[in-house]
Amino acid sequence: MRMLTIGAFARACRLSPKALRLYDELELLRPARVDPDTGYRYYAVEQLEQARLVAWLRRLGMPLARIREIRALDDPTAAAREIRAYWARVEAETAARRDLAAFLVHHLSTANTGTRPGTHTVAHTGTNTETDLSRKDTAMLELRYAAHSDRGLVRPANQDTAYAGARLLAVADGFGPAGGPASSAAVEALKFLDAEEPPAGSVLNLLEDAVRGATDAVRDVADGTDEVGTTLTALLWTGSQLALVHIGDSRAYLLREGGLFRITHDHTVVQSLLDEGRLTPEEAAAHPQPALLLKALSGGAPAAPDLRLQEARPGDRYLLCSDGLPAVVPDAGIRTLLTAAPAPDEAARSLVTAANDAGGPDNVTCVVADVVETAA
Ligand code: MG
Q: Are residues 126 and 225 in the same domain?
A: yes
For residues 325 and 364, the answer to whether their CB atoms sit within 8 Å is yes
The number of domains in the chain is 2
344 alpha carbon – ligand 1 mean position (Å):
21
Phi-psi region of 176 (alpha: psi -120 to 50; beta: other; left: phi over 0): left
Q: Is 302 helix (H, G, I), strand (E, B) or coil?
A: coil
Q: What is the pLDDT of residues 146-200, one digit of tens each?
A: 999 999 999 999 999 999 999 999 999 999 999 999 999 999 999 999 987 766 6
Q: What is the pLDDT of residues 282-325, one digit of tens each?
A: 888 888 888 789 899 999 888 888 888 888 999 999 999 999 99
Q: How many other β-carbons are positioned within 10 Å of the β-carbon of residue 224? A: 11
Q: Are residues 142 and 224 in the same domain?
A: yes
365 alpha carbon – ligand 1 mean position (Å):
9
Please give the pLDDT value at position 215.
94
Residue 174, exposed/middle/buried by CB under 10 A (0-12, 13-18, 19+)?
buried
Q: Are residues 303 and 231 in the same domain?
A: yes
Residues 106, 109, 112, 118, CA torsion sign: negative
Domain presence at residue 87 = no
13 alpha carbon – ligand 1 mean position (Å):
54
Q: What is the dihedral of CA 114, 106, 192, 316, to 10 degrees?
A: 100
Please give the pLDDT value at position 128.
43
Q: Are residues 152 and 238 in the same domain?
A: yes
Domain presence at residue 70 = no
Domain presence at residue 109 = no
Q: Are residues 51 and 123 in the same domain?
A: no
160 alpha carbon – ligand 1 mean position (Å):
7
Domain endpoint, select from 44, 59, 74: 59
Q: Are residues 310 and 234 in the same domain?
A: yes
For residues 120 and 324, the answer to whether their CB atoms sit within 8 Å is no
236 alpha carbon – ligand 1 mean position (Å):
22
Q: Are residues 361 and 236 in the same domain?
A: yes
322 alpha carbon – ligand 1 mean position (Å):
6
102 alpha carbon – ligand 1 mean position (Å):
30
Domain presence at residue 246 = yes
> In sequence order, what are the beta bridge partners of 297?
230
39 alpha carbon – ligand 1 mean position (Å):
62
Q: Are residues 177 and 309 in the same domain?
A: yes
135 alpha carbon – ligand 1 mean position (Å):
39
* Residues with pLDDT less than 50, the chain: 114-136
Closest to 310 measured CA to CA, from 66, 90, 102: 102
Residue 97 one-letter amino acid: R
Q: Are residues 177 and 317 in the same domain?
A: yes
Q: Are residues 24 and 140 in the same domain?
A: no
364 alpha carbon – ligand 1 mean position (Å):
7
CA distance linking residue 260 with residue 270, whole number of Å: 22
Domain presence at residue 91 = no
318 alpha carbon – ligand 1 mean position (Å):
19
362 alpha carbon – ligand 1 mean position (Å):
6
CA distance linking residue 190 with residue 187, whole number of Å: 5
- Angle, CA 95 vertex, CA 100 and CA 211 arms, to 5°: 40
Residue 281, exposed/middle/buried by CB under 10 A (0-12, 13-18, 19+)?
exposed
Please report, in angstroms and rounded to a whole number, the separation of the first and last CA atoms in the chain.
84
For the chain, list the strands marked E by DSSP.
Answer: 3-5, 33-34, 41-44, 139-150, 160-164, 168-175, 229-230, 232-237, 241-247, 251-256, 259-262, 297-298, 306-311, 317-321, 364-375
212 alpha carbon – ligand 1 mean position (Å):
23
Residue 64 CA from chain centroid, whole number: 26
CATH number, residue 202: 3.60.40.10
Please give the pLDDT value at position 284.
85
Residue 343 one-letter amino acid: A
251 alpha carbon – ligand 1 mean position (Å):
11
CATH number, residue 36: 1.10.1660.10
CA distance linking residue 318 with residue 338, whole number of Å: 9
Domain presence at residue 72 = no
182 alpha carbon – ligand 1 mean position (Å):
13
- Angle, CA 161 vertex, CA 336 and CA 197 arms, to 5°: 90
Q: Are residues 143 and 24 in the same domain?
A: no
Domain presence at residue 279 = yes
99 alpha carbon – ligand 1 mean position (Å):
26
Q: Are residues 224 and 306 in the same domain?
A: yes
Q: Is 284 helix (H, G, I), strand (E, B) or coil?
A: helix
Domain endpoint, select from 59, 74, 96: 59
Determine the structural domain holding residue 50 and report its residue range: 3-59
Output DSSP code: residue 268.
B
Domain presence at residue 88 = no
91 alpha carbon – ligand 1 mean position (Å):
28
Domain endpoint, select from 43, 59, 75: 59
Residue 211, exposed/middle/buried by CB under 10 A (0-12, 13-18, 19+)?
buried
317 alpha carbon – ligand 1 mean position (Å):
22
